[in-house]
Amino acid sequence: MKKPNVLDIVENFKGDALRTKYFARYDEDLLTKFKVYHLERPEIYAHFEGLAISALGKRAHYSANMIMARLRWDYEMGEISISSLSDNKDEAGNTFKINDEFTSIYARVLAIRHPVFQQFFTFKHNYRPKYKIEIKTPNAETVNETNATNQC
């Protein structure tokens, strides 16, 4: 049976209980950013998948963040080549670095494409959007802070 592609998993999760459980925590803006990021850099998922499969042979559970950190390290050290990144430069002329903002999405996509990863990673399914906290200082000033969680 053919595995669904990455974008199909992220785009068509509504109506599928497992996919909804994995992706309902994300707002549409983040999922849209992920889709654009993935279309421009599909090799990142392929390398993430390869490292995860390699780790699966050695561990019963592992961290998606560690896998992404290893991918970033390998890329920075020249161990792997990601051609879609080679021409990307920021305003200062620095070569693009792999963003870890989508690590938890990559892990969820991997778990849907390969069900064995549903037990390999620990997923946080509760949605905790940004929220505001008002703190009263001793001199009665109000300080607003915005917090967010970024868990896998």
Using the predicted structure, report yes or no on whether residue 114 has a pLDDT greater than 80: yes
Is residue 12 within 8 Å of 19, Cβ to Cβ? Answer: yes
**Length of the chain in terms of residues written:** 152
Amino acid at 37: Y
Q: What is the pLDDT of residues 52-74, one digit of tens each?
A: 999 998 988 999 999 999 999 88
> Residue 146: which H helix or E strand, with range?
strand 142-147
Which residues share a beta bridge with 133?
145
Number of H helices, E strands in the chain: 8, 2
Q: How far apart are CA 48 and CA 106, in angstroms?
A: 8
Tokens standing for residue 90: 């920021």
**pTM of this structure:** 0.73
User: Has residue 88 got a pLDDT over 90?
Assistant: no
